[in-house]
Amino acid sequence: MKNKFQTFWLLLNFWLVYLLAKSCHLFFYLLSFFPKTSNNKVLYLETLPFENAGYQYRSFKWKKYFTELGWQVQIKTITESRKEYDKWLEHDSLLSYFLIHCMWVRLKQVVQARNYQIVIVRRELLQFNDYGNLFMEKLLLLVNPTCILDFDDDISAAKREPREIKNWIGKILFEQGRKFQLSLQLYPYFIMGNKELEKLILKFVPLHPKENRLLIPTCIDYTNQPVKLYDTGKKEIVIGWIGGIGNLDYLNLVMPALEKINKQTPVSLLVVSGLNYQSPIPTSVSIINSPWGLTTEVADLLKMDIGIMPLPNNQATLGKSGFKLLQYMGLGIVPIASAVGINREIINDSVNGFLVEKETDWLAVFEKAISKRNDWASIGKIGQEEIKKQYTFEANYLRYHDFLKHVSKAV
């Protein structure tokens, strides 16, 4: 009975929001004949809560720089509370209410978007919600045509697009099995996290003007943070990983190698995430789970001797922006990563870190890195200097600012 009620409640709220959005079309269409005035106001429409790395590093930290350059920046998201967000997503019984909440909040924010010169949509307008055949995106672009879509992952691959909609609820709610792919054809401007994502844009919008795209990595800012100090005399080596709960399974790729390494050299695995990691195989490796937090992130990273980024080689991982590597290397921590996508650009093998070409090579690369233990400090320093040149806010904010000025001329 409870599930039937939730389904009914979702259907009712969807149709209310959908019809309200459609009823706004005529009003904003007529309003579009009256040009907006230039007001140097930028609106970020986030999908994530404040205490999330995506929110912090692709919107919140940019606010400081653009405010100093004369822009008025505001960030609006679905919920600021990380606890509330996690509660919704951890329980399937609450997902319907999350979708309903998203639709109502977003409808209000989309209507308010008229008051801004530029709107930057982070990832997608309605998270986990492909209903309505992009009705909210279409309304937003009518309300404010100067919209930028900013994304740093291949969301299309993550959604396994294109997919067939077979569920009767999905059909009633106009669920779109190619939502992200089709959304790329709607937005006039893009900010993407790497070159693979630019290829994705051009796959679905082949004639998209180059000047309307900007490649901005997920930048770091460790200017006032300490640097990793290596103690080569320490017996145990701390292998570290930081990331979202959806990527914890990637650690399974390295557990067999870590088990063998631990028999030669004592190692522990430090996992910084929103959930605890458990090895799928019996292991003698000590696994230390530390909950991710804004105030503890750097301290946890500095406990690592080696930072790892294991990835399978597939379409979804090709679109990743290598942010873990930037976090490790930005603090002078030696990285080891799968040679997938942008990781090849960030790491110069055996110079500023180590690349793993095949999943079966993890043991050999661990052994190689450990054999160069006396060089870790110098390897970390080389990496840190290269990150400062290309992947910090200071290295990219003027390009970002110029792009905003370019977009603002369309008003």
**Which of 262, 254, 277 has its CA nearest to residue 358?**
254
Residue 355 has pLDDT above 90, yes or no: yes
Structural domains of the chain, with CATH: 7-219+393-408 (3.40.50.2000), 237-390 (3.40.50.2000)
Mean pLDDT of 145-173: 93
Residue 410 has pLDDT above 80, yes or no: no
Mean pLDDT of 328-335: 98
Residue 297 has pLDDT above 50, yes or no: yes
Residue 144 has pLDDT above 70, yes or no: yes
pLDDT given at position 349: 96
pTM for the model stands at 0.92
Q: Are 138 and 109 in contact (CB under 8 A)?
A: no
Mean pLDDT of 340-364: 96
Q: Are 76 and 45 in contact (CB under 8 A)?
A: yes
Provide the token pair at 95.
């997902």
pLDDT given at position 37: 65
- Residue of 36 and 309 predicted with greater confidence: 309
3-state secondary structure of 343: helix
Residue 210 has pLDDT above 80, yes or no: yes
> How far is residue 68's CA from residue 63's CA, in Å, rounded to a whole number?
9
Percent of the chain with pLDDT over 70: 98
Look at the block and give the residue holding tokens 């100090």.
229
pLDDT given at position 309: 98
List C-alpha distances in Å: 51 to 55, 275, 295: 7, 15, 10
pLDDT given at position 1: 41
Q: Pairing between strand 118-122 and 72-76?
A: unpaired
pLDDT tens digits for range 40-99: 999 999 999 998 889 999 999 999 999 999 999 999 999 988 888 888 877 767 788 899
Mean pLDDT computed over every residue of the chain: 93
3-state secondary structure of 298: helix
Query: Omega before 226 cis (within 30°)?
Result: no
Mean pLDDT of 161-182: 93
According to DSSP, residue 360 is labeled G
Residue 385 has pLDDT above 60, yes or no: yes
CB-based contacts of 184-187 (< 8 A; 24+ apart in sequence): 184/149, 186/134, 186/137, 186/138, 186/141, 187/121, 187/137, 187/141, 187/147, 187/148, 187/149
Give 2's pLDDT tier (boundaries 50, 70, 90). low
